[in-house]
Structure 1
Amino acid sequence: MDNNRRNSQPDKVVVIITANEKASGIIQTPKQAISFSLEAGQQLIREFDGEDEGVIHRESGQVEYRPFRITSSGDLAVHAINGRQYSTDGTVVLPYSSLSTEYLVMAHYDVFGPGQNPGSNQNFESTLLVVATENDTEIEIIPAARTVNTIPAGAPIRIVLNEGESYQVKAEGDLTGSRIKVLNANQNNCKLIAVFGGNKTSSAGDCGTSGDHIFQQAYPIQTWGKEYIHIPLAGRTSGEIVKVLASQDGTILRINGEVKATLNARQSAKFEFGKNDIARIDANKPISAAVIAKSAACNEFGV
């Protein structure tokens, strides 16, 4: 997804491939094909320029062809990093067999606190990205916030993508809870899709003005659980933001056994935990939980 590329701070794509067994394969981008061969336990780290390689999406509401595909003869773990100086995030990349036809997106959007001077920083758009694996994939996107293309929250966006094509949505509001669903999937032709969510560059919490890219692949709804444990991030004194998203109506959410919210499908709740807070998060129906590190200025010593 889009990072806040600047002429003096170009963004880059870094792919990290770890072999679980002996494997040979190919990395394919719109510009090139790169062969690799790894022994079990070996790792390949490859860097690409975010602009020159043609794999980072800049626009909103446009069908694009920016595929980044890895195929292999053996089992791999794959991680992707979208990096720019002072604005970097990464995600595990799910294998094709783990994809689905319906997702709810976890994203982020924040504002600076009252009276704060952000300096050169700025809060940018919340984002989501859909990638098709088969031709003639009919997709419906219901955004949770008004898009930058002026599509209202809750209004369906219907598109058709072919294999390798993708579609990014940006919004000046939180896209958490947006639903993405394949409309023409069937048992003979699943038309699986990959979905990502996050933010171009955002602060986190109203105590700081520093911004960072947020980039995470969405997990299929059928993989969600009902119980999670939050552990504070090592080396941080700011505490964390935890967002919880419901998949079904009547979701009763508890923190350390205390009921904190009742959510309907696509609704989310946001909590802030202190630097030493360990929390058990559970619900009566499947939920997704995400942790976001607060901006660096939120730390006790501002670093």
Structure 2
Amino acid sequence: MSFSQQTTANTPDAYKGRSFWLGYLQSEMGKDKFELSLHVTSSVNATITVKLAGVSADSRGEKDWVQTFQVNAGGVTDIIIPEEYTFKSKEGKSTNKGLYIEADADVMIVAKNSSGASSDATVVIPIKSLGSEYYIMHYAAVKRGYPSQYLVMATEDSTVVELRNTDKNSDKQPTNQTYTIKLNKGEYHIVQSEKDLTGSYIKEVNGKKLAVFGGNTCAYVPRYCQSCDHLFEQLLPVQNWGHQFAAVPFDTREKYVVRIMAKENNTWVDVDGDRKEITKAGKFIELELKEPVYITSSRNVMVCQYTIGSRCDNQRGDPSYVVLKPLLGYSGETILPTMNTEHINRYYVTVLFKMSDIDKLTVNGKSVVGNYKLLPYTSQYGYAHIELTESNNNIECDCNYNFLSYGFGWYESYAY
């Protein structure tokens, strides 16, 4: 049994925009080799301004780092963030090091955090698609010194945020009790834990928009697979959750992990027709999967997909994670940055589409006809794995589609 077609604020092109707020999370691996970067794409020529508060522009000690960059139509502009931005603030303390990006045309931004053999990336959500209410989804902490974590950032002054954490936390607040923090525009607050803070709840009391990022300094996925990597992802506000998803294996990997979280009590979830109940808001189910699955639910849910550690299948790659977009979240042209590191040298995209649109969809100008598979549970959707090059890559379709773009190397990966 499946549930009815969703209606959601998660509309196509919700991930392209002209103004963005961003904050990076801590990664413990290779502390002396941090590289924080932005990868900006657009279908038209665009000018972007990147402003980093509280970081000196030069030896004169100016307070803000402000730079302007050009994005060529169909191209990718790569921007390295100054080393001074590298995570130095203490957990449980607020800082004004928010990164603000403004463009004169619609752009898509991918942010990457790389340090040593540890990386991950996320699509940055424009301010227009943010919300005021969130739940945290990441993964269990590995051990002492490798915490799970989340970051809350204000987009306006006089922002009042209620937090409720599911376990012991760096704010030293009681578990499952609500407390309040105050932030001004561009300030952010980081919470860390040696446990799993998945299910923690965040709400701005006056409805002001927040940018929220989740992840881990370094996580094992699954927990018994002792090969850790940084997790970093911008989370969707609850208004943009949905109740129709598809999860597809990452190319070259033996299996993957999915977590599904409920927004409301007594939510029923069907995974290829296998019905499961999530009895309480903020709770989740976790699945280890080898095949594609079609997911529907009685009420809106958030779905995250994780790559596994390399020790579980002896393949390139390590843990990374992506918040899956409800079907279907992109349209038109999407330009895909590939991000090389010391270890990552294989790049892929997995595209999901309606079979009725297969003749319209191309990747790098080539049709996916003849290079696709059907979702096993429903023939309405198909998917295709395509290996990418280090040069510009793109998806084009006069239709709606979803994608996962990812890179693998020995003991390192990213996904967005």
Aligned mate of 1:86, from 92, 99, 117: 117
Q: Does 1:10 align with 2:33?
A: yes
Alignment-derived partner of residue 267 in structure 1: 283
Find the residue that maps to 2:305 and give its secondary structure. strand
Find the residue that maps to 2:91 and give its secondary structure. coil
Distance 1:152 1:283 in 2: 32
* 1:143-191 deviation per Cα after TM superposition (whole angstroms, max 9, x unaligned): 1221034323212231110011000000111111111100123xxxxx2
Q: How far off its partner does 1:110 sit? A: 4.8
Alignment-derived partner of residue 137 in structure 2: 106
Where does 1:232-271 land on structure 2 (aligned, <5 Å)?
Answer: 232-237=249-254, 239-271=255-287
Distance 2:162 2:211 in 1: 14
Q: 8 Å contact 1:2–1:58 — kept in the other structure?
A: no
Q: 8 Å contact 2:253–2:315 — kept in the other structure?
A: no
Change (3 A) 1:140 1:206: closer
Alignment-derived partner of residue 378 in structure 2: none
One-letter amino acid of the structure 2 residue matched with residue 36 of structure 1: F
Alignment-derived partner of residue 117 in structure 1: none
Q: Does 1:19 align with 2:42?
A: yes
One-letter amino acid of the structure 2 residue matched with residue 285 of structure 1: R
Q: How far off its partner does 1:40 sit? A: 1.9
Q: 8 Å contact 2:243–2:300 — kept in the other structure?
A: yes
Change (3 A) 1:93 1:301: closer
Aligned mate of 1:199, from 216, 222, 241: 216
Q: How far off its partner does 1:66 sit? A: 1.0
Where does 1:11-160 land on structure 2 (aligned, <5 Å)?
Answer: 11-30=34-53, 31=55, 32-49=65-82, 52-54=83-85, 56=87, 58-111=89-142, 124-160=146-182
Change (3 A) 1:255 1:57: farther
Q: How far off its partner does 1:20 sit? A: 2.7
Percent identical residues: 26
Find the residue that maps to 1:109 and give its secondary structure. coil
Find the residue that maps to 2:85 and give its secondary structure. coil
One-letter amino acid of the structure 2 residue matched with residue 241 of structure 1: V
* 1:120-153 deviation per Cα after TM superposition (whole angstroms, max 9, x unaligned): xx77111110010111100011112210343232
Alignment-derived partner of residue 182 in structure 1: 204
Alignment-derived partner of residue 116 in structure 1: none
Q: How far off its partner does 1:289 sit? A: 0.5
- Runs of 4+ more than 4 Å apart: 300-303
One-letter amino acid of the structure 1 residue matched with residue 236 of structure 2: Y
Change (3 A) 1:298 1:58: farther
Q: How far off its partner does 1:60 sit? A: 1.5
One-letter amino acid of the structure 2 residue matched with residue 33 of structure 1: V
Distance 2:26 2:182 in 1: 21
Q: Report how many aligned residue pairs link the two structures.
A: 283
Unaligned runs of 5+ in 2: 1-24, 56-64, 317-409, 411-416
One-letter amino acid of the structure 1 residue matched with residue 71 of structure 2: L
Q: How far off its partner does 1:201 sit? A: 0.8
Q: How far off its partner does 1:210 sit? A: 1.3
Where does 1:162-173 land on structure 2 (aligned, <5 Å)?
Answer: 162-173=184-195
Find the residue that maps to 1:73 and give its secondary structure. strand
Change (3 A) 1:261 1:123: farther
Change (3 A) 1:301 1:181: closer
Q: 8 Å contact 1:3–1:87 — kept in the other structure?
A: yes
Distance 1:71 1:234 in 2: 34
Alignment-derived partner of residue 230 in structure 2: 213
So what's the TM-score if we normalise by structure 1? 0.88
Distance 2:81 2:315 in 1: 35
Distance 1:301 1:14 in 2: 26
Distance 1:104 1:144 in 2: 11
One-letter amino acid of the structure 2 residue matched with residue 21 of structure 1: V
Find the residue that maps to 1:154 and give its secondary structure. coil
One-letter amino acid of the structure 2 residue matched with residue 234 of structure 1: D
Q: How far off its partner does 1:55 sit? A: 5.2
* 1:61-103 deviation per Cα after TM superposition (whole angstroms, max 9, x unaligned): 1111111111011110001001112210000001110111111
Q: How far off its partner does 1:299 sit? A: 0.6
Distance 1:123 1:246 in 2: 30
So what's the TM-score if we normalise by structure 2? 0.65
Distance 2:162 2:86 in 1: 23
Q: Does 1:288 align with 2:288?
A: no
Find the residue that maps to 2:123 and give its secondary structure. strand
Q: How far off its partner does 1:260 sit? A: 2.4
Q: 8 Å contact 1:253–1:263 — kept in the other structure?
A: no
Find the residue that maps to 1:227 and give its secondary structure. strand
One-letter amino acid of the structure 2 residue matched with residue 35 of structure 1: T
